[in-house]
Amino acid sequence: MAELAPWPATSLLREASAGDEAVALIWDDGERAGFPLIWLRDHCPCLECRHPQTRERLTVPLEEATLRPEASLEAGHLRLAWADGHVSQFAAGWLYQRRPEAPAQSPLPARRVWRDAFTPVRVRHADFFTPAGESAWLEALLRDGLVLLEGGPLVDEEVSRIAECIGPQRPTNFGARFDVRSKPNPNNAAYTAIGLALHTDLPNWRQPPDIQLLYCLENAAEGGESLFADGFQVAEALREQAPEDFRLLSEIAIDFRFQDETQDIATRAPVIECDANGRVVEIRFNNWIRDALRLPAEQMAPWYRAYRHFWTLLHSPRYQLDFALAPGEMVAFDNRRVLHGRRAFDPSTGARHLQGTYLDRDMLESRLRVLARQA
Ligand code: OGA
Ligand code: ZN
Ligand code: ZN
């Protein structure tokens, strides 16, 4: 069927009848569905209609009239003989999964906003390299927007090795893999020892990195604890407490910009982005790289009020997760949803070294679908 995901091999057809518009099917369990003729012809899995190696569709559903085929059952599966001589054979279970009224099936978890006392899922480093452990890690990350890995080795580039089990590392102007420690001539607040207020990385990019991995190699300095908040949870709290402030942050686009000797990367977008149904889908929040505020003068004061309100809520202890990463631990989070930060540290008291990289969400979803089809 040109399909790698499994379908229920046991559900067979009891009846098939072709009309001028559709084929009506009844399965063994009594379930019924009607498939339009154009749909069936478009989904023909034969070697002329689907490339045998790539599994990609080779035909275009251009034919206006797909004339009524002869429908018959072969060992419980559907056979259609079309008027032009073409024959299509469909596995009954494959059609069963695709009944127009069937509930959508997906191995991907729904997003779940943090509630008070959110405790992140922890996965052992060794378990990550098993299908069950990797699935648990992926599910928690896609659902909660944050997951921890623990008990990993203290070796350079372990973060890249983990990332590449999932997909290619997403490069940015800071490289595909970056070191977080205090450096001479820093081009980024993270490369100093100062505290970092909650932020999302790279909101100055049209498409900020989806997922961030931070792997702790050393954390012996005083301070340097990690801070997180679920931007979706706090945005909902803002919507409830101050709908006008929420409206300003979600409707007014502002400029974000990073500049150094060789780069000037800028985009204009709202702090809170909603989809067409008003659901929050992205947070862009990074006070260092907010560019000059370019708005009609009368919008400026209300926008600052809304921004301060959101800032205050985000940093209130009620919404914050606060813990020190131990060497060998890695935090992974949804950079377009969960904000991160850290307390200041004192580099004279010991070393602090994290290695980080980014991944595309598509690669996480892909891994979870592949693992689900192997399960
Ligand atoms: C970063 C960052 C956090 C930390 O590198 O983007 O926010 O704990 N680092 O140092
Ligand atoms: Zn065909
Ligand atoms: Zn950051």
107 occurs within a structural domain? no
Backbone angles phi, psi at 235, to 5 degrees: -60, -40
Task: With cut-offs at 50, 70 and 90, classify the pLDDT of residue 149.
Answer: very high
368: left (phi over 0), alpha (psi -120 to 50) or beta: alpha
115 occurs within a structural domain? no
Distance from residue 14's CA to the centre of ligand 2 (Å): 23
110 occurs within a structural domain? no
Question: Does one domain contain both 240 and 205?
Answer: yes
Question: Does one domain contain both 151 and 203?
Answer: yes
Pocket test for ligand 1, best of 146, 173, 180 (most atoms within 8 A of CB): 180
Average pLDDT estimate for 216-240? 97
Question: Does one domain contain both 78 and 134?
Answer: no
Question: Does one domain contain both 55 and 133?
Answer: no
Question: Does one domain contain both 265 and 303?
Answer: yes
- Is residue 182 predicted with pLDDT exceeding 70? yes
**Predicted pLDDT at 95:** 97
Average pLDDT estimate for 301-328? 97
Last residue in a domain, options 97, 131, 147: 97
Percent of the chain surpassing pLDDT 70: 99
- Is any ligand 1 atom within 6 A of the Cβ of residue 69? no
82 occurs within a structural domain? yes
**Predicted pLDDT at 116:** 82
Among 180-184, 247-251, 350-354, 367-371, name the one with the lowest average pLDDT. 180-184
- Is residue 100 predicted with pLDDT exceeding 60? yes
**Predicted pLDDT at 186:** 85
217 occurs within a structural domain? yes
Average pLDDT estimate for 178-205? 92
Q: Which protein residue's CA is at the shortest distance from atom 4 of ligand 1?
A: 342
Distance from residue 274's CA to the centre of ligand 3 (Å): 23
Closest to 323 in 3D by CA, of 234, 226, 255: 226
- Is any ligand 1 atom within 6 A of the Cβ of residue 354? yes
Question: Does one domain contain both 89 and 141?
Answer: no
**Predicted pLDDT at 316:** 96
Question: Does one domain contain both 213 and 72?
Answer: no
Question: Does one domain contain both 178 and 130?
Answer: yes
Q: Are 180 and 215 in contact (CB under 8 A)?
A: no
- Is residue 167 predicted with pLDDT exceeding 70? yes
Q: Which protein residue's CA is at the shortest distance from atom 9 of ligand 1?
A: 190
102 occurs within a structural domain? no
Last residue in a domain, options 97, 112, 130: 97
241 occurs within a structural domain? yes
- Is residue 25 predicted with pLDDT exceeding 60? yes
Average pLDDT estimate for 353-372? 98
**Predicted pLDDT at 64:** 60
Question: Which residues make Cβ contacts (< 8 Å) with residue 65, sequence separation at least 6?
Answer: none
- The whole domain housing 263 covers 121-374
Question: Does one domain contain both 135 and 80?
Answer: no
Question: Does one domain contain both 156 and 90?
Answer: no
- Is any ligand 1 atom within 6 A of the Cβ of residue 342? yes
Task: With cut-offs at 50, 70 and 90, classify the pLDDT of residue 223.
Answer: very high
Instruction: Determine the Cα–Cα distance for residues 39 and 99; give it in Å rounded to an integer.
Output: 11
- Greater confidence (287 vs 1) lies with 287
Task: With cut-offs at 50, 70 and 90, classify the pLDDT of residue 375.
Answer: confident
- Is any ligand 1 atom within 6 A of the Cβ of residue 340? yes
Q: What is the CATH number of the domain that holds 350?
A: 3.60.130.10
Percent of the chain surpassing pLDDT 90: 91
Question: Does one domain contain both 194 and 59?
Answer: no
**Predicted pLDDT at 80:** 97
Cα angle 108-110-115, degrees, rounded to a multiple of 5: 140
- Is any ligand 1 atom within 6 A of the Cβ of residue 201? yes
Query: Domain count of the chain?
Result: 2
Q: Which residues pair with 36 in a beta bridge?
A: 22
Instruction: Determine the Cα–Cα distance for residues 118 and 333; give it in Å rounded to an integer.
Output: 14
112 occurs within a structural domain? no
Among 102-111, 260-269, 292-301, name the one with the lowest average pLDDT. 102-111
Q: What is the CATH number of the domain that holds 86?
A: 3.30.2020.30
| Average pLDDT in the chain | 96
Average pLDDT estimate for 30-48? 96
Last residue in a domain, options 38, 64, 97: 97
Which ligand neighbours the alpha carbon of 52 most closely?
A: 2
3-state helix, strand, coil in the chain (%, to 5): 25, 30, 40
Question: Does one domain contain both 151 and 208?
Answer: yes
- Is residue 65 predicted with pLDDT exceeding 60? no
